[in-house]
Structure 1
Amino acid sequence: MPPRKTTNDEQTVSRTYRAAIRIGEDFITLEETITLSVDASDEDITKAVGLGLRIYQTQREAIETQIATLREEAATPAPITVRDPESPASDKQRNFIANLQDGLGWTNERLATYANDQGIDLVTVTKGQASTFIDQLKKVAESRTAYNGSEQRDTNNHTNGSNGTQQHEESRVNDKQLRALERLADQNGLDLHNESQERFDVSIDEMTSSQAATLLREWQRSSTLPRTTDESLL
């Protein structure tokens, strides 16, 4: 920036430094402008920069305090509610369910069986039930995608000479995990056999230790009972 004259004809030079940074969840723009006379010494510059840093530190402490206060005072967002939950499911909801069904590769019979296990009749399903059912289908799809991705990565790590039984070195579900799954399924009113088939396309006996751990973690989070399952099972 070229020198400029002040009202008393003293020539000065101004320089501005600007940076945008992210701190945690917040975006902050830093901007510092220093104006000195053209004959300023290195010591004058150092003092000006030091003053700017002290100002920044004080400002940051004040801003962080204000942000913390605002977050503490902010009300918890109200949960999403469904209008007229007892009215028939909308066409949009039914289309959403159909898209999820296609993504899972389920037949109509399999979808109906899963819905019945959840206490839902797809013929008379209401808006509220459809909303809950959509969330459940999303979890099934997400779990299957996560498992298939993990299995694919494990498969790619094997050599071309590996046979089918060596393709996935993960052990089968053990008796301790099975007992824990049966207990949690009973507590949550779930059918372990159906869950294994619908989530991973395998029977209980063919379930792997990793798949069992996935179900244990999910069911423990959703269970309203105290967590008693041994962490070593996961």
Structure 2
Amino acid sequence: MHIPAAFRQDDLTQLHAQMRENPLAALVSHGASGLQASHVPLLLVAEEGDYGTLYGHFARANPQWRTFAEQPEALAIFSGADAYVSPSAYPSKAEHGKAVPTWNYISVHAQGQLQVFDDPERLRQLLARLTAAHESRQPQPWAMDDAPRAYIDSMLRAIVGFALPIQRLQGQWKLNQDHHAADRAGVHQALSASPQAKDQALAAHMQPTPQL
């Protein structure tokens, strides 16, 4: 991923936080048939490896998992908050008119060598951890034990698990850091006042008066 210096994010804590807040990633691989991608929820285990390890699973019917036997390299793309930025948000536009539209966003790329597994007990443990992570926010959390064991066993036979130890981790926080403080504050104000929740979410990541 091309990252201008002003937008580069190297703070591991913030990178991990974004991955946890936006767990549905695009998992990209390349094999004999070319590029393939799947959208899968991933579980980050931060303490495994220098950058953490990602866990997830494919439907067994999804042919992508077979590509990793020949080419294990994988890229997981996590997309965070994003918002369109109109030139009208820049105070400098009224001064000289030299402004164009852009798009602000947060993105994290994690790369590594993916390892596939289908051991039933390991799959069960993976699903239990994934379930616990996502059900914790529910008013009445569901647990695997709520379903008949035979049913869960049949579901396990229909999936293939994987581990992705992260070998390279990149983050891009494109938040108008390359603009003057007044223009950046103008964007922050415009997005904060927007009726769209996605715009407000992006504004929450911006500082209204940055130091350039």
TM-score (norm 1): 0.17
Question: Which structure has greater strand proportion?
Answer: 2
In proportion to residue count, which structure has more helix?
Answer: 1
Which is greater in Rg? 1
